[in-house]
Amino acid sequence: MVKFSFGAPVSDENFFNREEELSYLEKRLFAIAKRSRNDIAVIGPRRVGKSSLVLQMAHHARRKGFRTVFLDCEGLDLESFVREYGNALMAAELEGRMDLRVREALRGGAGAAIATLSEILGRVRALELSPAFGEFLKLRIEFEKQAMAGGSGGKSVLELLDSTLTLPSKTDSKYVIIFDEFQETSSYRMESFHAVFRRAIQYQKNAVYVYAGSSIGMMEQIFGNPKNPLSGNVDILNVRPFSEQTAKEFLDEGFRSYGKNASEDALRIFWEGTNGFPAYLNWAGLRALDARGKNVKVEDAERVVGEMVSPISPVYAMVEKQLAKLGRMSRMVLRSIAQGNNTPRGIASGTTAKNVYVYLERLRRYGLILKEGEEYRIIDPVIKKLVERY
Ligand SMILES: Nc1ncnc2c1ncn2[C@@H]1O[C@H](COP(=O)(O)OP(=O)(O)O)[C@@H](O)[C@H]1O
Ligand SMILES: [Mg+2]
Structural domains of the chain ordered from first start: 18-238 (3.40.50.300), 244-308 (1.10.8), 318-388 (1.10.10.10)
Write out pLDDT tens, residues 174-215: 999 999 999 999 999 767 899 999 999 999 999 999 999 999
Q: What is the pLDDT of residue 103?
A: 82
Q: How confident is the model at residue 51 (pLDDT cuts 50, 70, 90)?
A: very high
Q: How confident is the model at residue 8 (pLDDT cuts 50, 70, 90)?
A: very high
Write out pLDDT tens, residues 296-350: 999 999 999 999 999 999 999 999 999 999 999 999 999 999 999 999 999 999 8
Is residue 274 in contact with ligand 1, taking CB distance under 6 Å?
no
Is residue 278 in contact with ligand 1, taking CB distance under 6 Å?
yes
Q: Which amino acid is at 126?
A: A
Taking residues 381-390, what's their average pLDDT?
94
Is residue 5 in contact with ligand 1, taking CB distance under 6 Å?
yes
Is residue 50 in contact with ligand 1, taking CB distance under 6 Å?
yes
Measure 41 CA to ligand 2 centroid, in angstroms. 13
pLDDT at 35 over 70: no
Q: What is the pLDDT of residue 154?
A: 64
The rounded distance, in Å, linking the Cα atoms of 229 and 337 is: 34
Q: What is the pLDDT of residue 215?
A: 97
Residue 56 alpha carbon, nearest atom of ligand 1:
1
Q: What is the pLDDT of residue 150?
A: 80
Q: What is the pLDDT of residue 156?
A: 85
User: Mean pLDDT over all residues of the chain?
Assistant: 93
The rounded distance, in Å, linking the Cα atoms of 103 and 96 is: 12
Taking residues 56-71, what's their average pLDDT?
95
The rounded distance, in Å, linking the Cα atoms of 46 and 368 is: 8
Q: What is the pLDDT of residue 149?
A: 86
* Residue of 154, 123, 157 whose CA lies nearest to 140: 157
Q: What is the pLDDT of residue 32?
A: 79
pLDDT at 75 over 90: yes
Q: Where are the alpha helices (DSSP H) in the chain?
A: 19-31, 50-63, 78-93, 100-107, 110-122, 131-148, 154-166, 193-201, 216-224, 244-257, 264-274, 278-288, 298-308, 314-323, 328-338, 344-349, 356-365, 381-388
Write out pLDDT tens, residues 102-161: 888 888 888 999 999 999 999 999 888 899 999 999 999 999 999 888 876 667 899 999
Give the predicted TM-score (pTM) of the model: 0.95
Q: What is the pLDDT of residue 153?
A: 61
Is residue 116 in contact with ligand 1, taking CB distance under 6 Å?
no
Q: Are 43 and 213 in contact (CB under 8 A)?
A: yes
pLDDT at 374 over 80: yes
Taking residues 251-262, what's their average pLDDT?
96
Q: How confident is the model at residue 245 (pLDDT cuts 50, 70, 90)?
A: very high
DSSP 310: S
- Which ligand neighbours the alpha carbon of 180 most closely? 2
Nearest CA to ligand 1 atom 15: 49
Counting residues of the chain whose pLDDT is more than 70, the rounded percentage is 98
Q: How confident is the model at residue 98 (pLDDT cuts 50, 70, 90)?
A: confident
Q: Are 50 and 212 in contact (CB under 8 A)?
A: yes
Pairing verdict, β 375-377 and 370-372:
antiparallel
